[in-house]
Structure 1
Amino acid sequence: MATEIRVPTLGESVSEATIAQWFKKPGDAVNQDEPLVELETDKVTVEVPAPAAGTLESIVVNEGDTVEVGALLGQIAEGAGAGASAAPAAAAPAPAKQEAPAAKAELVDVVTPSAGESVTEAEVGEWSVKVGDVVKADDTLVELETDKAAQEVPAPVAGTVVKIAAETGATVEPGVLLCQIDPSGSAAPATESAPATTAPAPSAPAASTGTSMPPAPSAAKMMSENNLSSDQVAGSGKRGQVLKEDVINAIASGATAASSTQTSAPAARGPVAAEDEVREERVRMTKLRQTIARRLKDAQNTAAMLTTYNEVDMGPVMELRKQYKDLFEKKHGVKLGFMGFFTKAVTHALKEIPAVNAEIDGTDIIYKNFCHVGVAVGTDKGLVVPVVRDADEMSIAEIEKEIGNLGRKARDGKLGMADMTGGTFTISNGGVYGSLMSSPILNAPQSGILGMHKIQERPMAVNGQVVIRPMMYLALSYDHRIVDGKEAVTFLVRVKESLEDPQRLVLDL
């Protein structure tokens, strides 16, 4: 007896959905209420559970197809009869099918770990092992990349890798099988790795094209009406699917004009000479780099971004460091750097100009009565912004310790979601790379970011005399929708005053 799997009711205003992905394939055993397929509408994502236990007998719609409510998705052959009915088809393979569950029962599944509440998927990076390799417990198997950070997946047990289920470049969700390890050391199940390598093949091209999902039905209709193509709209749905809201946002931000420039760029590659093209190297952007690009461009498109500049004489801070650096390091176990002074100066200024520490939420302004300062850190995988929480309540020594700790975690790829969320203001130090002047881009939804730059000796007029002083240009980029020019300039002047007269930090002036 077969049980039908049909599209459930999705809501009063939703009449159709897109098949996002099947969790099972024909012939797989399923339990009642176990998720079988994921449907995506222009509003929500819905998992369809198995109406009965048995074997998935057939799938009648493929991933990417659009189906209406009530449409047939597939059928389940119920009970033990499902397995029995498949056996007579070929007598010889029957023992193999009976042995497979026993072999799998001994295998240890390695699945995609959870990377935090706001992270719903990761991209499989380079595998450190291959099928047949012997691994020890805690050996690194593969690196996963999310839109926030890279994460290494260790081996839970010692044994032999007998199956790799997710290829490099594939997009996986938490709980998805990555590989299997035979703790007995037997490589007998390695023959199962052949289908495993071909199974993720459909997702590989999807990753290279940016998304494997067609636009949601309502989004596709709106895109057609406004002469927009899928590459002109950034999708926010799962696996980059374009939703109706994305199209509305794209139209509001002038996507048509912006995209015409973008679409003309590939056309410019036509005249590239063959001898030059063979010397080029095309490398797919990592998940982290894609997110950095998208967030920075979104910040430019959304905020009314403006930058104001000033310069600060770093002499007083440098003299203070020179005088107390040895004593400071001996007492606190950390070197006295510039970031402690800058972070402290910023928190003082934020208390006086709260708009720079606020954010816009729809038609509301949210003022933050705390200072979580993000510190931009460059790594070999891209820019990350770990957050120093409650920096306004910390001493300079505590700030230096926390920045040092976060910096090490960033370079080692050990930053967690809790380390990079919740920031209210950001400091970016391009001076460590030699930058003399730049205009930093906002770290949305924050309303302000301070750019530090290279300290360079310049002739300055002081009390009517020309003297050589160690000067640094400061840049404050801010969202003009919420921060007025007077507030931005005052903020930057307060930072300058605190650095040129560090006693202000001690006296809270």
Structure 2
Amino acid sequence: MATEIKAPVFPESVADGTIATWHKQPGEAVSRDEVICDIETDKVVLEVVAPADGTIAQIIKNEGDTVLSNEVIAQFEEGAASGAAQTQAVQSEEKVEQAAAKTEAGAAPVVERAQPVADQAPAVRKALTETGINAADVQGTGRGGRITKEDVANHQAKPAAAPLTAAVGERIEKRVPMTRLRKRVAERLLAATQETAMLTTFNEVNMKPIMEMRKQYKDAFEKRHGARLGFMSFFVKAATEALKRYPAVNASIDGDDIVYHGYYDIGVAVSSDRGLVVPVLRDTDRMNYAEVESGIGAYAAKAREGKLAIEDMTGGTFTITNGGTFGSLLSTPILNTPQTAILGMHKIQERPMAVNGQVEILPMMYLALSYDHRLIDGKEAVGFLVTIKELLEEPAKLILDL
């Protein structure tokens, strides 16, 4: 029985999406709830799954096509695989058996050669075109020696052998379209720089007290709570306390109005293969350190798998970004509008510091607070950042709520 496969119902903030990848092609057997298609929106990638066991009868929306909420993208045939798919599977099995028989007889195993690019699925043809890879150079692992997108990605990841001869003055270019997520991030960052009076103030924090506390209790913490004790939980809790003391930093501008939020939803910037995403920890004033660490860990895993949902990234009253993960020593983070401030963490670097008239080598981190000067005055911004510094350098005050 033929049924329609439709795009998911998009949230109000998402107008449309783009077919990113068809994981299955017409005639291929699929199982119930198996992912058959990815739809990329401005914020997340949505997965479309098979409604039952069966095959895709027809693809209506191809890769790269724009789709609307609940629009039909394919026709699905419930039941066993189509005759073409079954025949292909039988032929593939026969080839494997023949290769095995020849190997047992002492003959060299039969190696399937990749099919010409014209015979490949649309997703594979697109990948080969964008990467400039010759289909004949890729070892296909699909049915009948067909190339899959994974085969193209694996081939591209291999270190390229240096050519024996290179054309003098050869200059290679590759042009690929921006993903919807990357375009949306670019638009938001550009808008933040053009539509806000953004200013950045800096300070530095001695990380030695937190590092010593973490070293002493990290094993017991993980054993008790099942979560790794990192530095982010200290920064989230310190930022939450500082936001309580400086409400303007937790506010936003809506037209000519200032919206003061009576709750603390802190976004944590996460880098994924598809771009920068900012999942939000809700009500951080009510969370303990273990809950913060578990929440961040869960979001990081979902970001790597491309499974962050719209609701995971909706809202947020303040953002923390950690460029130190990649080795950044100092930077000026860009506001995540309509929020009015963002805290930038950086690499921990040992430096000689003057302490009580003596020079000590201490693990220091530069902190950066970018803020919208239309709402936040310099005095408030500096006071907010100094509060975070003091709480981190004396974590007992943070834990004891002093």
> What TM-score range do you get, normalising by the shorter chain?
0.7 to 0.9
Equivalent position of 1:134 in the other structure? 29
Equivalent position of 2:43 in the other structure? 148
Match of residue 452, structure 1, among 341, 345, 356: 345
**In 1, distance between residues paired with 2:32 and 2:11?**
24
Per the TM alignment, residue 451 of structure 1 is displaced from its structure 2 partner at its CA by 0.3
Equivalent position of 1:262 in the other structure? none
**In 2, distance between residues paired with 1:403 and 1:186?**
42
Does 2:342 correspond to 1:422?
Answer: no
Per the TM alignment, residue 395 of structure 1 is displaced from its structure 2 partner at its CA by 1.2
Match of residue 175, structure 1, among 70, 89, 103: 70
Match of residue 217, structure 2, among 299, 311, 324: 324
**In 1, distance between residues paired with 2:280 and 2:238?**
16
Equivalences, count: 321
Does 2:380 correspond to 1:493?
Answer: no
Equivalent position of 2:136 in the other structure? none
Classify the secondary structure of the residue corresponding to 1:392: helix
Per the TM alignment, residue 188 of structure 1 is displaced from its structure 2 partner at its CA by 8.6
Does 2:373 correspond to 1:480?
Answer: yes
Per the TM alignment, residue 135 of structure 1 is displaced from its structure 2 partner at its CA by 1.5
**In 2, distance between residues paired with 1:186 and 1:504?**
65
**In 1, distance between residues paired with 2:226 and 2:83?**
54
Q: CA RMSD in A?
A: 1.9
CA contact (8 A) 1:115 1:416 kept: no
Per the TM alignment, residue 303 of structure 1 is displaced from its structure 2 partner at its CA by 0.6
Per the TM alignment, residue 184 of structure 1 is displaced from its structure 2 partner at its CA by 3.6
**In 1, distance between residues paired with 2:79 and 2:309?**
33
Deviations 1:63-113 (A, max 9, x none): xxxxxxxxxxxxxxxxxxxxxxxxxxxxxxxxxxxxxxxxxxx21211001
**In 1, distance between residues paired with 2:224 and 2:83?**
60
Equivalent position of 1:470 in the other structure? 363
Between the aligned residues of both structures, percent identity stands at 56
Per the TM alignment, residue 138 of structure 1 is displaced from its structure 2 partner at its CA by 1.9
Match of residue 338, structure 1, among 231, 249, 259: 231
Q: Partner letter of residue 160 of structure 1?
A: T
Q: Partner letter of residue 451 of structure 1?
A: G
**In 2, distance between residues paired with 1:115 and 1:131?**
25
After superposition, where does 1:8-407 map in structure 2 within 5 Å?
106-185=1-80, 187=82, 275-276=170-171, 279-407=172-300
**In 1, distance between residues paired with 2:184 and 2:307?**
18
Per the TM alignment, residue 120 of structure 1 is displaced from its structure 2 partner at its CA by 2.5
Deviations 1:365-414 (A, max 9, x none): 00011110000000111110000000012111211111111111121112
CA contact (8 A) 1:307 1:477 kept: yes
Classify the secondary structure of the residue corresponding to 2:369: strand
Deviations 1:226-250 (A, max 9, x none): xxxxxxxxxxxxxxxxxxxxxxxxx
CA contact (8 A) 1:115 1:417 kept: no
Equivalent position of 1:438 in the other structure? 331
Q: Which has the larger radius of gyration?
A: 1
Per the TM alignment, residue 507 of structure 1 is displaced from its structure 2 partner at its CA by 2.4
Classify the secondary structure of the residue corresponding to 1:466: strand
Q: Partner letter of residue 223 of structure 2?
A: K
Per the TM alignment, residue 117 of structure 1 is displaced from its structure 2 partner at its CA by 3.1
Per the TM alignment, residue 275 of structure 1 is displaced from its structure 2 partner at its CA by 4.8
CA contact (8 A) 1:461 1:467 kept: yes
CA contact (8 A) 1:162 1:189 kept: no
Q: Partner letter of residue 155 of structure 1?
A: A
Equivalent position of 1:100 in the other structure? none
**In 1, distance between residues paired with 2:63 and 2:222?**
45
CA contact (8 A) 2:29 2:82 kept: no
TM-score (norm 2): 0.77
TM-score (norm 1): 0.61
